[in-house]
Amino acid sequence: MKIRYFVVVAILFVAVTFRILWVNHEYPQADNVKIEKGKCYVDQEEISYKVKETKWLNKEQIKEEYGMELLSVCIVTMQVENTSKYKKRITACDWYIEGENYFGNGISSDLFFAMNEHLSDMDLVLEPGERKVWNLPFEFCNTFQYSFKNENEVQKTSYGVVRERYPRKIWMMI
Protein backbone atom coordinates (compact mmCIF):
# COMPACT_ATOMS: atom_id res chain seq x y z
CA MET A 1 0.00 0.00 0.00
CA LYS A 2 2.82 2.39 0.87
CA ILE A 3 4.54 1.62 -2.41
CA ARG A 4 1.41 2.47 -4.42
CA TYR A 5 1.03 5.72 -2.54
CA PHE A 6 4.69 6.59 -3.19
CA VAL A 7 4.36 5.73 -6.91
CA VAL A 8 1.22 7.89 -7.29
CA VAL A 9 2.89 10.83 -5.52
CA ALA A 10 6.02 10.44 -7.66
CA ILE A 11 3.98 10.35 -10.89
CA LEU A 12 2.02 13.45 -9.84
CA PHE A 13 5.26 15.23 -8.92
CA VAL A 14 6.82 14.44 -12.30
CA ALA A 15 3.65 15.49 -14.16
CA VAL A 16 3.41 18.83 -12.31
CA THR A 17 7.13 19.51 -12.81
CA PHE A 18 6.84 18.72 -16.52
CA ARG A 19 3.84 21.05 -16.87
CA ILE A 20 5.64 23.90 -15.07
CA LEU A 21 8.67 23.52 -17.32
CA TRP A 22 6.45 23.43 -20.42
CA VAL A 23 4.58 26.62 -19.42
CA ASN A 24 7.85 28.45 -18.69
CA HIS A 25 9.21 27.38 -22.06
CA GLU A 26 6.01 28.28 -23.95
CA TYR A 27 5.58 31.68 -22.27
CA PRO A 28 8.98 33.25 -21.61
CA GLN A 29 9.53 36.09 -19.16
CA ALA A 30 8.34 39.50 -20.34
CA ASP A 31 10.88 41.88 -21.84
CA ASN A 32 11.30 45.04 -19.77
CA VAL A 33 11.18 48.18 -21.93
CA LYS A 34 11.88 51.46 -20.14
CA ILE A 35 10.72 54.74 -21.69
CA GLU A 36 12.48 57.81 -20.30
CA LYS A 37 10.45 60.60 -18.76
CA GLY A 38 9.39 63.06 -21.47
CA LYS A 39 9.66 60.51 -24.29
CA CYS A 40 6.58 59.26 -26.16
CA TYR A 41 5.41 55.69 -26.33
CA VAL A 42 2.79 54.62 -28.90
CA ASP A 43 0.91 51.43 -28.02
CA GLN A 44 -0.74 48.87 -30.32
CA GLU A 45 -3.98 50.87 -30.29
CA GLU A 46 -2.12 53.87 -31.76
CA ILE A 47 -2.37 55.97 -28.63
CA SER A 48 0.68 58.03 -27.72
CA TYR A 49 1.61 58.43 -24.03
CA LYS A 50 4.11 60.83 -22.50
CA VAL A 51 4.90 61.50 -18.83
CA LYS A 52 4.98 65.30 -18.60
CA GLU A 53 5.51 65.85 -14.88
CA THR A 54 5.79 64.02 -11.59
CA LYS A 55 4.89 65.50 -8.23
CA TRP A 56 5.19 63.87 -4.81
CA LEU A 57 2.92 64.91 -1.97
CA ASN A 58 3.74 64.05 1.63
CA LYS A 59 1.34 63.28 4.45
CA GLU A 60 0.82 66.93 5.45
CA GLN A 61 0.27 68.17 1.88
CA ILE A 62 -2.28 65.43 1.19
CA LYS A 63 -4.21 66.22 4.36
CA GLU A 64 -4.15 69.97 3.64
CA GLU A 65 -5.14 69.76 -0.04
CA TYR A 66 -7.47 66.74 -0.05
CA GLY A 67 -8.29 65.92 3.58
CA MET A 68 -7.09 62.32 3.25
CA GLU A 69 -4.84 60.26 5.53
CA LEU A 70 -2.19 58.80 3.23
CA LEU A 71 1.53 58.26 3.67
CA SER A 72 2.61 59.55 0.27
CA VAL A 73 1.13 60.20 -3.17
CA CYS A 74 2.84 60.38 -6.53
CA ILE A 75 0.93 62.42 -9.11
CA VAL A 76 1.92 61.64 -12.68
CA THR A 77 0.77 64.17 -15.27
CA MET A 78 0.46 62.30 -18.54
CA GLN A 79 -0.26 63.51 -22.04
CA VAL A 80 -2.25 61.12 -24.23
CA GLU A 81 -2.87 61.51 -27.94
CA ASN A 82 -4.97 59.46 -30.32
CA THR A 83 -2.80 58.96 -33.41
CA SER A 84 -5.29 56.64 -35.11
CA LYS A 85 -8.18 57.37 -37.48
CA TYR A 86 -10.75 56.08 -34.99
CA LYS A 87 -12.31 57.26 -31.75
CA LYS A 88 -10.55 55.61 -28.77
CA ARG A 89 -11.39 55.09 -25.11
CA ILE A 90 -8.73 54.51 -22.46
CA THR A 91 -9.17 53.98 -18.75
CA ALA A 92 -7.09 55.11 -15.81
CA CYS A 93 -7.68 51.74 -14.14
CA ASP A 94 -5.23 50.12 -16.58
CA TRP A 95 -2.31 52.07 -15.10
CA TYR A 96 -0.35 51.29 -11.98
CA ILE A 97 2.92 52.44 -10.49
CA GLU A 98 5.68 49.99 -9.78
CA GLY A 99 9.07 50.44 -8.19
CA GLU A 100 12.05 48.47 -9.35
CA ASN A 101 12.45 47.08 -5.84
CA TYR A 102 8.98 47.51 -4.40
CA PHE A 103 5.41 46.38 -4.88
CA GLY A 104 3.28 48.51 -7.18
CA ASN A 105 -0.03 50.19 -6.60
CA GLY A 106 -2.98 51.36 -8.67
CA ILE A 107 -4.83 54.63 -9.09
CA SER A 108 -6.46 56.29 -6.10
CA SER A 109 -9.99 56.85 -7.42
CA ASP A 110 -10.86 59.53 -4.83
CA LEU A 111 -7.79 61.58 -5.70
CA PHE A 112 -8.26 60.92 -9.41
CA PHE A 113 -11.69 62.59 -9.44
CA ALA A 114 -10.49 65.43 -7.21
CA MET A 115 -7.68 66.20 -9.68
CA ASN A 116 -9.60 65.53 -12.90
CA GLU A 117 -12.86 67.32 -12.14
CA HIS A 118 -13.75 67.56 -15.85
CA LEU A 119 -14.11 63.76 -16.07
CA SER A 120 -17.29 61.93 -15.05
CA ASP A 121 -15.63 58.50 -14.96
CA MET A 122 -12.15 57.01 -15.16
CA ASP A 123 -12.29 56.74 -18.94
CA LEU A 124 -10.85 59.23 -21.36
CA VAL A 125 -12.44 59.42 -24.83
CA LEU A 126 -10.18 60.67 -27.61
CA GLU A 127 -11.25 61.66 -31.09
CA PRO A 128 -8.77 61.01 -33.95
CA GLY A 129 -5.79 63.36 -33.54
CA GLU A 130 -7.03 64.64 -30.16
CA ARG A 131 -4.55 65.26 -27.34
CA LYS A 132 -5.43 65.51 -23.65
CA VAL A 133 -3.60 65.71 -20.34
CA TRP A 134 -4.71 63.95 -17.18
CA ASN A 135 -3.35 63.46 -13.68
CA LEU A 136 -2.86 59.93 -12.40
CA PRO A 137 -2.51 59.85 -8.58
CA PHE A 138 -0.84 56.75 -7.15
CA GLU A 139 -1.02 56.33 -3.41
CA PHE A 140 1.42 54.77 -1.02
CA CYS A 141 -1.09 54.45 1.76
CA ASN A 142 0.38 52.86 4.83
CA THR A 143 3.36 51.14 6.40
CA PHE A 144 1.55 47.80 6.25
CA GLN A 145 1.81 47.91 2.46
CA TYR A 146 5.30 49.41 2.36
CA SER A 147 8.09 48.95 4.87
CA PHE A 148 9.28 52.56 4.67
CA LYS A 149 10.12 54.45 7.87
CA ASN A 150 8.72 57.72 6.50
CA GLU A 151 7.37 59.24 3.31
CA ASN A 152 10.81 60.48 2.18
CA GLU A 153 11.99 56.89 1.83
CA VAL A 154 9.21 56.18 -0.67
CA GLN A 155 10.74 58.61 -3.16
CA LYS A 156 14.28 57.18 -3.03
CA THR A 157 13.66 54.31 -5.43
CA SER A 158 12.96 54.71 -9.14
CA TYR A 159 9.41 54.13 -10.34
CA GLY A 160 7.60 53.67 -13.58
CA VAL A 161 3.95 53.75 -14.56
CA VAL A 162 2.99 50.53 -16.30
CA ARG A 163 0.05 49.65 -18.53
CA GLU A 164 1.26 46.69 -20.59
CA ARG A 165 2.74 43.68 -18.83
CA TYR A 166 3.08 40.94 -21.42
CA PRO A 167 4.74 40.07 -23.79
CA ARG A 168 6.62 43.32 -23.14
CA LYS A 169 6.44 45.19 -19.87
CA ILE A 170 6.44 48.89 -20.77
CA TRP A 171 7.73 51.17 -18.00
CA MET A 172 7.11 54.90 -18.45
CA MET A 173 9.78 56.11 -16.03
CA ILE A 174 8.84 58.98 -13.75
| Per-residue model confidence as pLDDT tens digits over 35-72 | 999 999 999 889 999 999 999 888 888 889 888 777 77
Mean pLDDT value across residues 62-91: 89
Vertex 89 angle, CA 54 and 36, to 5°: 30
Sequence-distant (≥ 6) Cβ neighbours of residue 46 within 8 angstroms: 82, 83, 84, 88
Distance between CA atoms of residues 152 and 155, nearest Å: 6
Distance from the Cα of residue 110 to its chain's centroid = 17
Distance between CA atoms of residues 70 and 50, nearest Å: 27
Say which DSSP state 153 is in: H
| Per-residue model confidence as pLDDT tens digits over 107-149 | 888 888 888 888 888 899 999 999 999 999 988 765 555 555 5
The one-letter code for the residue type at 69 is: E
- Asked which of 97-106, 140-149, 159-168 is least confident by mean pLDDT, the reply is 140-149
Distance between CA atoms of residues 36 and 126, nearest Å: 24
Query: Among candidates 173, 168, 165, which has minimal Cα distance to 94?
Result: 165
Tell me if 62 sits within 8 A of 114, measured CB to CB: no
- β partners of residue 131: 81
What was the pLDDT predicted at 170?
A: 86
What was the pLDDT predicted at 69?
A: 76
Q: Is 17 helix (H, G, I), strand (E, B) or coil?
A: helix
Vertex 70 angle, CA 65 and 75, to 5°: 65
Does position 166 have pLDDT exceeding 90, yes or no?
no
Domains, the chain, in order of start with CATH, read 30-173 (2.60.40.1240)
CA distances from 165 to 15, 31, 120, 129 (A): 29, 9, 27, 26
Tell me if 47 sits within 8 A of 130, measured CB to CB: no
Q: Phi and psi of 85, rounded to 5°?
A: -95, 0
The one-letter code for the residue type at 139 is: E
